[in-house]
Structure formats: structure tokens, C-alpha cells
Structure 1
Amino acid sequence: MTPQTFRTPLTALTGVAHPIVQTGMGWVAGPRLVSATANAGGLGILASATMTLEQLDKAVTEVQERTDRPFGVNLRADADDADQRVGLLVRRGVRVASFALAPKESLIKRLKDQGIVVMPSVGAPRHAEKVAAWGADLVMVQGGEGGGHTGPTPTTLLLPSVIDAVDIPVVAAGGFHDGRGLLAAFSYGAAGIGMGTRFLLTSDSAVPRAVKEHYLTYGVQGTVVTTKADGMPHRLLRTDFVRSLESEGAVRRLARAVRHTARFKELSGMSWRALVRDGLAMKRASERSWGQTVLAANTPMLLKAGLVDGDLGAGMLASGQVVGVIDDLPSCAELIDRIVAEAAGRAVTVQELAAGAGSPAES
């Protein structure tokens, strides 16, 4: 691991060596990727939304067997068993809790009282202001280039507006993949960067190699933001399957959702009653319509088909636009080392420019 080069509020709060976060991608951010990121000095985030409580417990155990460095767990604030999952993090000494949706104030307080760092993801300054007022330690802001669904505003506009709106550290996500991006984020005032697609496309990612190589064939225009999976916007590779998904009718989508709900129930071990409670909680937390709530099981199962089963003809492949500038599959250690080295080298160049070295006035 490269020795610590940049000390920021992110590294101070979490105890990691480098201000680089591997985001909690469902079906992708498992123990192998998280521990590889942690051992390379970054902050690995374990994705738990597609795990049962028992599966999460086993995953945390596996990460802790693979690394003694800090890591985090991404939680669904609207999950029916959110309190139990928080209790698990407390018992197991997990360092960071991240959230895709804003957690309740009471949940933030409970985590902070136990010494866990709280990092919600936001897509607007007002969302950052809300969680900051509730006690969040830092926020991750994701621009429209990213693979999530935080809105269309690009990182270059969203990041400075969030930094100006809050007094807590901000982690920048959406479009980052190299040392130039890390240094640019610092120049905006960010405490570090978060990356999803770039970590998915590493040799430590459990995504099938053939699928990862398929990603590498896409350009920056090779993704599309669609609402056809569950009524919520998702950025995906523009595959033949996604094109067909975009054109299918409501009846077919509903039938698919019913099948996927049954399959998700089987995989998760949840009862129908628990699934209904979970769906109602999701609807309240995210302001989804009833139709969107019914379709919600589509997304995890379609992502599993693509990212776990490797079925390019019947699965979705989540991706940020950054996929178009990625052309290799390094290990997490190789990736983080070269990002840090490049950022440090370019920082020297910027300092020389600021000092006027080599300027016409000095010649």
C-alpha cells in the first residue's frame, strides 16, 4: 500500500489512508471487493440492501477476516429491519454507515452515539443541509454522470453548491476515475472522491470477467437513464435488453415485477408480510407511487441477472458515464496507488504554476 499522501477530513474521520471511497453497489460491493479496497488504503463500503440480516452478518465477518482496516456498510434507511442492522454494525465495530436515502434523525443519533461515522448520499444542497442539521458527519454528493439516481445535475455544478451549503466534509462522486479527478475534487473543496463503476471494473470485483470486458466496449454515450425498471431513474449500459425494456408495455412490466418479487422473496427468505412492510416503508421514505412500489423488486433482480449471473440478454448493467474512459481491469491496490501518485504529481505541477515557475515574466 502506498504511504498516506493526502490527509483530509475524510481520512481523519474514517481512519483510512487515502481519501478514496468504493461505493456500496448492490450485488457488486461484497466482502472481496470491500476488503481489497480497505487493504489498499481506501474506504470500502459493503452493500447490504440485497442481503438479509443473516447474510449481512456473515459478510461483515468475512470482511473482518480479510482485513483489519476500517470499512463501512451501506444501509437502506427505509428497510423494515433498519434498527437491527444498525445494532449489528454497533456490535461488530463497523466504522462507517452510509445511506442512499436520508436516514432518520434518530437513526443518525444512535449511530453517532456509538462512534460510527455517518455518511448519507445526497443529490441536492437542501438534502445535504437536512442531514447535516441532523448530525451527519459528512455527505457524499453524486452528480448526474454517476450510476445512481440522484438527479441530472453534473458534478461540476452540484459539488460546489453542496460544499457552499454545509459546514461538514463533502465527498465527491460521479465521473471520477483517476488522479486528475481526485485533485480536481480537492480544488473544489471536497474531502475525497467516491467511485462505483471504476471499482466494479477491477480484478477484485466479483462481477464475471466476461461482463467486465463487455463494459470496456462502451463509450461515454453508451449509457442511458431509464425509469422503465421500477419507475425510478437508473443509469445503465445501453444494452439490447435495456432497449427492449424501454419499449415494453405496462402490463408486461407488471408481470415481470410479480415474478421478480416472488424470486426476491425466495432469495431473501422474507415472508410476504415482511415484504409488504418493507414496501410500505420504502414508499413512505422515497415518495414512490403505488405503481413504483409494486415494481421495486424489478431492479435488484434485473441487476443480479446481469452483474451476478452474467446474463447479458436478461439483466441490467448499472454504470456511470465514466465507463467510456476506462480501458483496463487493475486490482484495487494498483488502482488506488496510481490515483494517489497521479494526484500528487499533478499537485506539484499546480504548485509550480501558482509560483509562476517557467512563466514569461521570469524568462
Structure 2
Amino acid sequence: MTAPGQPVDLTQLAAHGKESRTAVATRHIDTPLTRLAGVRHPVVQTGMGWVAGPRLVSATAAAGALGILGSATMTPDQLRSAIREVQGRTDAPFGVNLRADAGDAEERVRIIIDEGVRVASFALAPSRELIARLKDAGVVVIPSVGARRHAEKVAAWGADAVVVQGGEGGGHTGEVATTVLLPQVVDAVDIPVIAAGGFFDGRGLVATLAYGAAGIAMGTRFLLTSDSTVPDAVKARYLAATVRDVTVTTAVDGLPHRMLRSELVGSLERSGRLTALLRAVRHAASFRAVSGLSWPQMVRDGLALKHGKDLTWSQVLLAANTPMLLKSSMVEGRTDTGVMASGQVTGLIEDLPSCAELVDRVVREACAVLDGLPGGAEPRQ
């Protein structure tokens, strides 16, 4: 039997399926992710731009999960300030997410190292050099990928773990479902794999552990918490959505992007090329003012986005400025002028718990599911 407050060994749970449920609240599930990141629970809050700020991240970290700051929408000075704010709120480990193709990625990596951040998370595969620099400084490197070959590449370059997002996930996404992509990656690499796309409860955590993953990452579920700074009107739109109210469109930036259906999305899908270009230029000017990036830096970022993709220049501009469309909704509460990135799982979410309540609920559910698994079943001829 597992003593209260001690980590749970999954094999023990399977063997002792009738362990008292009164111990659930004091248990935690020990996996390669918890040991790698130094957190209590194998749950990750993803680094969502304009959403994953100091309040949400510190609340997640204090709850025993791994909170990730979304730095892509911050200037370097804002990033340093946000890191220090989280550190002032909690002593628990947390991470920072950044774009590997950003023109100032080197500067952001230096800030992460200088400020003693535990984990560096990447939205795109970082270079071998960036991985080495972070690892030499003792930072855990966890890139996010959407294909097996990408996982194999970053693993070969020294990444400590990888987040694998299936097509159900919000924001930029692929076509392969998590249940198909996850086992491919687990079988292909020998580093911890974290599953993302379609998760919101303890049953999903147990399912990923059965696949051989080390934990789950959730974006939309953490967005819909009381600790999230997203305006109430926007949260209400998410809570009212059904699974059919979530769509994948390329109209926003030329790349498959999963989000809530809205009048803006419909308008973008009906727009001609000239209208799209004018809209892109307007958003480019807005993002330049907010981000502090120069036009040459934005052009370099646009070229990085265009590399290997069949995008028009209007799509490149939109891709570089999607943050402004997200800010309009996630910060300003303008559901009419902003886009609302969303996982397909939105249609299953009905409440706004605190991060502490959410993490506790996920772990309790996972332990209850593990407790209920049959321990003595034998195959029949």
C-alpha cells in the first residue's frame, strides 16, 4: 500500500486496484515528467500567448503542475518581469515557451538562463545549438512537435522531453489525431513524451499513461479556469460552445488553425486576396507597435514562417500577426474582432475551477480510474 503523501507507482496501482479511495487526495502519480521537471503531478499548462501570464502560471505551479509562460507576445523586458513575478508568487518550478524561429530567440534564451527558469518550451523545433546552450545551463528543454520525424530530430539533438500535439489541439494544428500520433512518437524516441490535444480530465491522463506517455498538456482547459485572465465574456463564448462550434481554418494565416467559429472567421474565409493583404498590413503595424520589433525583424520572422511552406505574402504577414487577432479577444474581450484559438475539447468543458481545483480533480480522477482497473483479468483461449 502507498503511504499518504508518497508518489504512486503505476504498477502498484494496477496490482492494488481496491486501495482505499480516502487516500486519493494525498497521492500523486510519479512519472518521468514529474522527476524531470521537479513537479508533483504529470500535468502541463501550455504556453498560450496573451493567456499564460504570471497569474495563471504561478497558480498552476503552486497546484503542483508545470505552468508555462507564453513569451511570444511579450517583449524581452516584459518576459524578464513576468518571470520575476512568477518567482515572487511561488517557489515551484515553471517554464517559459518561446518561438525557436523568432529573431530575438537568443536573447530570450539568455533571459531564461539568467533568471534560473527550470524549463524551456518551444513552439517549433529549436536548433541543436539552442538546445545545447540551455542544457549546458541546466535548463530542461521540451519542444512541441506535431509529427514523429520532428520528435526524432529534436531527441537526436538532445531535447529532454517532447510535447506531442494531435489534431484535436487548439491553435496551429495538424491532421493526425492524438490517439494515432502519440503511440508513433512513444515508440520512436526514448525520452519522455507528453501528450497534448483533446485532454481535460483524469481519464485522459490515464489513457496517455497507458500509451506510454509521461503526462498530459492542456491549453483550453487551463484557459477556462478562474485563474485565467481571459475576459469573462470570452470565457462565456467558450463554455457555450459545442464540439461542432470548433473549426479548423486556413483563412487566418494560411496554416491550419483550430478555433471557435465566429463572425470574424467567416468574414476572413469570404475575403478576397486584396482584402486579406490590407488586413494583414494593418495588423502588422499594430503588432510592431506592441512588440517593439523593427520592420526588418518582422520580415525575418515572416521569412522563417514561410520557409518550407506554400504561403502567399499576405498569409505570411497574417501568420506573423496572428498575436494581434488573439489579443483582441484574449485581452480586450472583443469576440467580434479577435480569433479564439480552441481545442476540440471545448465542447466538453462546463465550469471554471481554480487551477488548484482543476489539477486536484484531474489527479483524483486518474487515481480513481487506476483503482478501478481490473487486476485479475486473464486472457482466454
Counterpart pick for 1:50 among 68, 73, 79: 73
Residue 321, structure 1, aligned to residue 344, structure 2 = yes
CA RMSD in angstroms comes to 1.7
Equivalent position of 1:161 in the other structure: 184
1:212 maps to amino acid: K
Q: Which runs of 5+ in 1 are unaligned?
A: 358-363
Task: Kindly state the Cα deviation for residue 276 of structure 1 after the two structures are TM-superposed.
Answer: 2.3
Residue 268, structure 1, aligned to residue 291, structure 2 = yes
1:323-342 per-residue CA deviation (whole Å, 9 max, x = no partner) reads 00000000000000010001
Equivalent position of 2:375 in the other structure: 354
- 2-structure distance, mates of 1:318, 1:100: 15
Task: Kindly state the Cα deviation for residue 146 of structure 1 after the two structures are TM-superposed.
Answer: 0.6
- 2-structure distance, mates of 1:150, 1:132: 21
Residue 146, structure 1, aligned to residue 169, structure 2 = yes
TM-score by length of 1: 0.94
Residue 102, structure 1, aligned to residue 102, structure 2 = no
Equivalent position of 1:5 in the other structure: 28
1:43-67 per-residue CA deviation (whole Å, 9 max, x = no partner) reads 0000011111111111111111111
Counterpart pick for 2:149 among 126, 149, 165: 126
Identity of aligned residues (%): 64
SS of residue paired to 2:78: helix
1:104-158 per-residue CA deviation (whole Å, 9 max, x = no partner) reads 0111111111111111111111111000000000100011111032311111111
Equivalent position of 2:261 in the other structure: 238
- 2-structure distance, mates of 1:274, 1:127: 26
- 2-structure distance, mates of 1:112, 1:330: 35
Task: Kindly state the Cα deviation for residue 289 of structure 1 after the two structures are TM-superposed.
Answer: 5.1
1:60-103 per-residue CA deviation (whole Å, 9 max, x = no partner) reads 11111111100000011011111111111111000001111100
The number of residues matched between the two structures is 356
1:74 maps to amino acid: N
Q: How does 1:238-317 map to 2 (within 5 A)?
A: 238-284=261-307, 290-317=313-340
Contact kept, 8 Å, 1:307 with 1:317, in 2: the verdict is yes
Residue 339, structure 1, aligned to residue 362, structure 2 = yes
Task: Kindly state the Cα deviation for residue 5 of structure 1 after the two structures are TM-superposed.
Answer: 1.1
1:267-302 per-residue CA deviation (whole Å, 9 max, x = no partner) reads 112222332233334434877554432222441111
Contact kept, 8 Å, 1:23 with 1:195, in 2: the verdict is yes
1:75 maps to amino acid: L
Contact kept, 8 Å, 2:225 with 2:352, in 1: the verdict is yes
- 2-structure distance, mates of 1:227, 1:186: 33
Equivalent position of 2:216 in the other structure: 193
- 2-structure distance, mates of 1:243, 1:154: 25
- 2-structure distance, mates of 1:318, 1:79: 21
1:140 maps to amino acid: V
Equivalent position of 1:361 in the other structure: none
Q: Aligned in 2, Cα 1:209/1:152: closer, same or farther, shift over 3 Å?
A: same
Q: Aligned in 2, Cα 1:287/1:354: closer, same or farther, shift over 3 Å?
A: farther
Runs of 4+ in 1 over 6 A off after TM superposition: none
Contact kept, 8 Å, 2:202 with 2:365, in 1: the verdict is yes
- 2-structure distance, mates of 1:324, 1:227: 21
Contact kept, 8 Å, 2:276 with 2:314, in 1: the verdict is no
1:230 maps to amino acid: D
SS of residue paired to 2:96: strand
Residue 217, structure 1, aligned to residue 247, structure 2 = no
1:317 maps to amino acid: M
Residue 65, structure 1, aligned to residue 88, structure 2 = yes
- 1-structure distance, mates of 2:68, 2:175: 24
TM-score by length of 2: 0.90
Contact kept, 8 Å, 2:68 with 2:96, in 1: the verdict is yes
Equivalent position of 1:360 in the other structure: none
Residue 330, structure 1, aligned to residue 321, structure 2 = no
Residue 114, structure 1, aligned to residue 133, structure 2 = no
Q: How does 1:84-103 map to 2 (within 5 A)?
A: 84-103=107-126
- 2-structure distance, mates of 1:48, 1:284: 22
- 1-structure distance, mates of 2:352, 2:317: 37
Task: Kindly state the Cα deviation for residue 233 of structure 1 after the two structures are TM-superposed.
Answer: 1.2
SS of residue paired to 2:342: coil
Q: Which runs of 5+ in 2 are unaligned?
A: 6-24
1:11-35 per-residue CA deviation (whole Å, 9 max, x = no partner) reads 0000000000000111110000000
Task: Kindly state the Cα deviation for residue 242 of structure 1 after the two structures are TM-superposed.
Answer: 1.2
Q: Which moved more, 1:229-238 or 1:193-202?
A: 229-238
- 2-structure distance, mates of 1:61, 1:305: 26
2:337 maps to amino acid: A
